[in-house]
Every structure is written in C-alpha cells, then in structure tokens.
Chain A
Amino acid sequence: MQALLEIKNLKTRFHTDEGVVKAVNGVSYALQPGEILGVVGESGCGKSVHALSVMRLIPTPPGEIAEGEIIFEGRDLLTLSKDGMRQIRGRDIAMVFQDPMTSLNPVYTVGFQIIEALTLHLGLDHNQARKRAAELLSMVGIPQAEKRLDDYPHQFSGGMRQRAMIAMALSCAPKLLIADEPTTALDVTIQAQIVDLVKSLQKEFGMAVMWITHDLGVVAELAQMINVMYAGYIVERGNVREIYYQTRHPYTIGLLGSLPRLDEAPGARLYSIPGLPPDLITLPDGCPFAARCPYKVEQCTTDMPPLQPADSPNHLVACWRWKDILEERAQ
C-alpha cells in the first residue's frame, strides 16, 4: 500500500535575532490512508511546526524548510508552486487549529466562510454550496443548521465554533485532516463530544487524521499510531499499545509517569522529569533529553541516537540505552 503522506528528513528552522531556532530536526515517517496518528509532545517540541511545514504555512522569512521531502500521494509538496499548493490545501489536506476563537473571521458569517471553500474547491454554485454547508453543520451536530449559517462567529459558543471549523475542514472531503490541539481550549465534556465526532467522521469518510496534542489521555483512545516528539526530534514511535504498555524512551516513560493514575495509592507522589526542555537555539550535541535523563551515560552527551526499531520493526526508539533501561526497570 502506498503511504498517503511520507515525510523524509524534514528540517525546519526560524532565523531570529538571537540565532537560528532549530524547530524540527530531521523528522521522517509515513502516514497510511485512513490512519489516525497522534503527535504528542510539550510546547516547543516541534509538533505544530512540523504540521505547518506539511501545509506549507511556515512564514518565510523568518521560517525556512531547510531540508527534506514531504511526499503526498506521490508528489513532493515542497516542489509545488504557490497555486499548486493552494489546490491541495483545504481540498486534499485540511487543518483545524487550536483556538476556535481566532481561526474564524469575525466579520463574515459562519455560512459565508464554509460556502467560500465549497465554491472555490468544488465549483458548486451558491445555492448548492449553501445547501451543502447546512448539511455539514448539522452533521457536526449544530442544531437548526440552516438558520445558524447566517450567524457570526461571536454568536457561537467555543464548542460550536470548533465544530464549525471541523465542518469547514471536512467540506471538501479531505484525504488528510490535521488537527492541531483542537480541543485544548475546550472543556472536557465538549472535548469528549469533539473526539467522538472526529472518530465517527473518520470512519464515515475514511480520511487519515493527524491529531497533535500535549495530552496523552486524548490520543490513547483516538489514535492507532503515536509519534512522541522532543526538541524537534521524534524520540519514540509505535502503535498505541506499544507506546502506553511497552514504553521504551525515558522521556515517554517520564511523561506517562507524571500523569496521575486512577489506581494510584493515596499519598503517592507523581514522577516529575527534572529540569526544562533545551533551548532550540543552542541545542546540545548528542541526545537533547540527556540533560534531564536519569539513565544518561557519556555517549548520550556526544552522539544523537538514531530512531531505530526496538522490540518490533514498527516500534521505533531514539535511545542508546533502551535495552539497559528495560532491564533496570524490570528489577
């Protein structure tokens, strides 16, 4: 099966007054059609920048995709013209952003903004597009959709705006939906509604989803594959069970350990990863996590470990010592 999206050695940089910010440092992986991929990491790990690179939405300058290929259905997106990219953006690859308050234009009605995409990409006339827009809004669970088309974004609640954004993203039945922290600004009960919605729509349309988040809880139930990112690198990649039950990278182990568990003993302390993520301008030689890693040895501070298979061919880990750590933790 041909991969829907294949990213090869992607490097994205930002040139600032303080120096070059190395936001993405050689990310490679493939996304299959219909797959739900979770991209997990903390702020500044490069998860959003790598997604924006796929959409070619990196502001240049100061940003720059320095190296790599992004192959979508056999074509390298980085070689496309602006117009060529515009054909793909919104139609084949759609994106939902974190903040539903700022990603809708406040001076146009919600309906206008959905209809615009439909007429532009699918060539529908106004009446057809309006009918389709109402269908989309009611599909994402907005009551009285026909009437609400004429509302402005401020007349929608936060959850409804995010639904409207999803409706807009789905309007052209994209093959890939990139959702960048789509539920972070929302309450848990609304988040549950959105997660369920995306799951059912993914089943219906068979699209692939890239779900970017800092929350290991949300992707546990949603994703099939997970990339864990740190300082612009993928440090661990595997299917959801491998990541949660056969965790190999010390950073992933630390992240999971720092979450409260339902079955914890009373008075138990959380595991906390000491220190801070490294500065992306002055990245250390070697493994970027070494400074915070309880298992580090000499080699970790000099050589960056490659992302290579751990227990199974599809479970990848970038750590020199994952085997030793496994033994140490078993004792």
Chain B
Amino acid sequence: MSHNDRVLVEVRNLKKYFPIQRGIILQRQVGSVKAVDDVSFNIIKGETLGLVGETGCGKTTVGRTILRLYEPTSGSIIFDGVDLASLEDKELRRMRRRMQMIFQDPYASLNPRMTVGSIIASPLEVHHFASGKKKRERVQELLQMVGLNPEFVNRYPHEFSGGQRQRIGIARALALNPDLIICDEPISSLDVSIQAQIVNLLEELQEQLGLTYLFIAHDLSMVRHISDRMAVMYLGKIVELADRDEIYLQPLHPYTQALMSAVPLPDPDASKRRERIILEGDIPSPANPPPGCNFHTRCRYAEEICISEDPEFREIKAGHFVACHFAERFQIQ
C-alpha cells in the first residue's frame, strides 16, 4: 500500500455510528447503530472497486461518508493526499467537485419541477464552473455523452423512462469533470435489458474520461462484471477484499462463500452442479452486533475463538484481504 501516487482514496478505520435516541424533549442517547464499524480500504486511480453486501450491511453509508454527506464518527478519509476531515466547509466544497454520486432511484433523485437542462446545469452554477453560452454548450455535450438527444434540454424528468433518467443522473454527475464517482446501486431499479445499457455506458465513460468508480450494489454478478476489485461487507465490516476473479474463484470468508453460492445463475446445468450453502436465519441487528466475529451466529465453521475474538482484517496473500480466523484452512481446499 505504499504506492501513494496510485491511490485516489484511502479510507482508514472509518466508523459511522447513528445514535438511537429516546424521549421527546429531553433526548438522551440509549445506544447506537453501528452502520460502519472500522472499515479500511483504498481505491486506486482509474479502477472500479465493487462494494457488495446485503440490505443494512452499511455499504451505502460507506459511500455517503466518503463524500462527507455523513460526518464520520471516527477514522479518516484521505482523498488524493488530503484528509477530508481536516477541511473547512469552503475547502471541502471545492474538493467535492472532484467526487460525485449517482443514486439508486432515478425517480426520487431528479427534481420533477426542473427541466433536464437545469438539473444538469445546477452543479455548474453552484461551483461557478460555467455560465451563459458555455454552460448551455456543456449541458448539450453532457447529454450527448450519455446517449440522450441534446434537444431534450427543456423536457421534464417525467417524460423519460427509468433508464433515460439514470442517464440524466449520470450526466449531472459528470458535469464538473470529477475524478471519483460513487455509484450507489445505479441499476437495481432498472429492467434487465436496460441494466446492460447503463453498465456499458458507465464502462465507456470510464475509458474515455479515466474515471474512478466505487460501485455499490447487491447484485454480485453485475458487480463482478464491472469491477476490478471487490469488497464484501457484512454488518458494518468489510469481511473480504480481493481481485474480482480471485474472490469469485477462491472466496476465503465463509460469508462470501455463502453469498457466491446463492447468486442465481442463468444456466440450468451449472446451477444444478454447484453446491449451495444456505445461510440460516437473518442478519443480526447492527444496534447490537454479536461479540467476536459478527458472522459467527450464522457461520457453519464457527468455533470457540470466533465468539470471543474479533478476527483481524489481514492480507492473506498479495492483494487478498480477509477477516476470518480460519481463512488459511479454506485456502488449502
């Protein structure tokens, strides 16, 4: 991890706890939801890092905390050598130009009362990036880049389909020439045939513009397709991080193994051949995570040590990180 010039984002021991409060007038904190609980990883320039996990595992909170849409409880986020936590509001806003977000719901993330043109132009205005004729040209150029007709500038979001709206969201994110785009489930609300269109568009734009993506999703096969490396989250922690093929061919964390085996395959023979690991029960509450390894309540390999000791997130071989006491055992298999 010494090649600092290649690292765009460095996340160190990031924690984000949301308080649970009781009382109406005299509020007091009675506990906290550990949405993100001590997470460390790097995002390398020009790569796509996939972040997968199930509902409530904290993947969206990680994305939002990186942009400081949420204030981290502790830990640091270093963006291109600068610690974001140390920045004043004004400097932070300037830094935000370089990181943008694409949201999950293309219906809720576009203001229905604004035209497409003004939606895409608003980041340009907020950051005094362009105005007048230059602004209009930039908007048209952006529309063209995402495969929409530049003549659509005066239309409203309701005139577009889900896939087209997601393209508008992408155009808005590209407006300021960012380095990093956090894609938070950008395709999960779209139909299958439209998902492929958007994923291809994101890949083309990455090639053209040298973008770096943090791609957050729960659809493992799509994340594997688009990512260079993948991180798997469970209950606020990253349990495994590796190259996309490595993690598919040799998942070392029992949770990753179960997750991979549960992915539906569009291939009847292959899905009959493989061994399914069915996890019992539900995800425990992040307000009260189990002691030790937080996966031990559902893990079929759990032993004494898993209940008492939290496994360290360690590099078991070059570029392959895993948080499991028995990772070596799975490696031999």
Minimum CB–CB distance for A142 against chain B, Å:
11
| A42 and B191 contacting across the interface, CB-CB below 8 Å | yes
Distance between Cα atoms of A196 and B199 in the complex (Å): 31
Of A193, A214, A241, A266, the contact of B191 (CB 8 Å cutoff)? A214
Known: A192-B276, A216-B266, A244-B268. A187 touches B196 (CB 8 A): no
Minimum CB–CB distance for A32 against chain B, Å:
19
Distance between Cα atoms of A203 and B193 in the complex (Å): 33
Of B192, B203, B245, B268, the contact of A241 (CB 8 Å cutoff)? B268
Of B54, B195, B224, B272, the contact of A189 (CB 8 Å cutoff)? B54
Q: Which residues of A contact B221 (CB under 8 A)?
A: 217, 259-260, 262
| B193 and A273 contacting across the interface, CB-CB below 8 Å | yes
Known: A217-B265, A220-B266. A188 touches B196 (CB 8 A): no
Instruction: Flag whether A307 is at the interface (Cβ < 8 A).
Output: no
> Considering only CB atoms, which chain A residue lies closest to B270 in the complex?
A262
Distance between Cα atoms of A165 and B240 in the complex (Å): 34
Distance between Cα atoms of A272 and B194 in the complex (Å): 7
Stretch at the interface among A120-128, A250-258, A317-325: A250-258
Of A244, A266, A273, the contact of B196 (CB 8 Å cutoff)? A273
Distance between Cα atoms of A270 and B221 in the complex (Å): 12
Instruction: Flag whether A99 is at the interface (Cβ < 8 A).
Output: no
Distance between Cα atoms of A245 and B264 in the complex (Å): 17
Instruction: Flag whether A105 is at the interface (Cβ < 8 A).
Output: no
| B264 and A215 contacting across the interface, CB-CB below 8 Å | yes
Instruction: Flag whether B161 is at the interface (Cβ < 8 A).
Output: yes
> Considering only CB atoms, which chain B residue lies closest to A270 in the complex?
B196
Minimum CB–CB distance for B122 against chain A, Å:
27
> Considering only CB atoms, which chain B residue lies closest to A159 in the complex?
B282
| A218 and B163 contacting across the interface, CB-CB below 8 Å | no
Instruction: Flag whether A43 is at the interface (Cβ < 8 A).
Output: yes
Instruction: Flag whether A87 is at the interface (Cβ < 8 A).
Output: no
Known: A262-B248, A264-B225. A42 touches B282 (CB 8 A): no
Minimum CB–CB distance for A195 against chain B, Å:
8
Instruction: Flag whether B11 is at the interface (Cβ < 8 A).
Output: no
Report the number of A-B residue pairs with Cβ-Cβ less than 8 Å.
112
| A244 and B258 contacting across the interface, CB-CB below 8 Å | no
Distance between Cα atoms of A255 and B54 in the complex (Å): 25
Contact with A along B185-212 (1 / 0, CB 8 A): 0000001111111011001000000000
Of B218, B222, B271, B278, the contact of A221 (CB 8 Å cutoff)? B271
Known: A270-B225, A271-B196, A276-B161. A262 touches B220 (CB 8 A): no
Q: Which residues of A contact B196 (CB under 8 A)?
A: 257-259, 270-273
Instruction: Flag whether A23 is at the interface (Cβ < 8 A).
Output: no
| B265 and A221 contacting across the interface, CB-CB below 8 Å | yes
| A217 and B263 contacting across the interface, CB-CB below 8 Å | yes
Instruction: Flag whether B279 is at the interface (Cβ < 8 A).
Output: yes
Minimum CB–CB distance for B298 against chain A, Å:
9
| A255 and B279 contacting across the interface, CB-CB below 8 Å | no
Distance between Cα atoms of A43 and B193 in the complex (Å): 11
| A217 and B266 contacting across the interface, CB-CB below 8 Å | yes
Minimum CB–CB distance for B320 against chain A, Å:
18
Instruction: Flag whether B259 is at the interface (Cβ < 8 A).
Output: yes
Q: Which residues of A contact B278 (CB under 8 A)?
A: 189, 192-193, 196
Q: Which residues of A contact B220 (CB under 8 A)?
A: 188
Q: Which residues of B contact A244 (CB under 8 A)?
A: 266-268
Minimum CB–CB distance for B303 against chain A, Å:
22
Minimum CB–CB distance for A314 against chain B, Å:
16
Distance between Cα atoms of A188 and B277 in the complex (Å): 12
| B55 and A220 contacting across the interface, CB-CB below 8 Å | no
From B195, B218, B261, B267, name the one whose CB has the most chain A CB atoms within 10 angstroms: B267
Known: A193-B279, A260-B224, A272-B193. A220 touches B200 (CB 8 A): no
Distance between Cα atoms of A270 and B270 in the complex (Å): 20
Distance between Cα atoms of A196 and B269 in the complex (Å): 17
> Considering only CB atoms, which chain B residue lies closest to A221 in the complex?
B271
| B266 and A187 contacting across the interface, CB-CB below 8 Å | no
Which residues 11-61 of B have a CB within 8 angstroms of A? 54-55
Minimum CB–CB distance for B280 against chain A, Å:
8
Distance between Cα atoms of A1 and B192 in the complex (Å): 36
Contact with A along B147-166 (1 / 0, CB 8 A): 00000000000000101000
Q: Which residues of B contact A159 (CB under 8 A)?
A: 282
Of A189, A254, A256, A270, the contact of B200 (CB 8 Å cutoff)? A270
Instruction: Flag whether B299 is at the interface (Cβ < 8 A).
Output: no
| A221 and B272 contacting across the interface, CB-CB below 8 Å | yes
| B218 and A188 contacting across the interface, CB-CB below 8 Å | yes
Distance between Cα atoms of A217 and B196 in the complex (Å): 15
From A43, A157, A270, name the one whose CB has the most chain B CB atoms within 10 angstroms: A270
Beyond A157-B282, A189-B258, A262-B221, list 16 extra A-B contacts (CB 8 Å): A188-B218, A189-B54, A189-B259, A189-B279, A215-B192, A216-B192, A220-B264, A240-B268, A258-B193, A260-B221, A260-B225, A261-B266, A261-B267, A272-B196, A273-B193, A276-B194
CB-CB nearest 8 A-B residue pairs: A217-B264, A260-B225, A258-B196, A272-B196, A187-B54, A192-B262, A221-B271, A270-B196
Q: Which residues of A contact B (CB under 8 A)?
A: 42-43, 157-160, 187-193, 196, 214-218, 220-221, 240-241, 244, 254-262, 264, 266, 269-274, 276-277
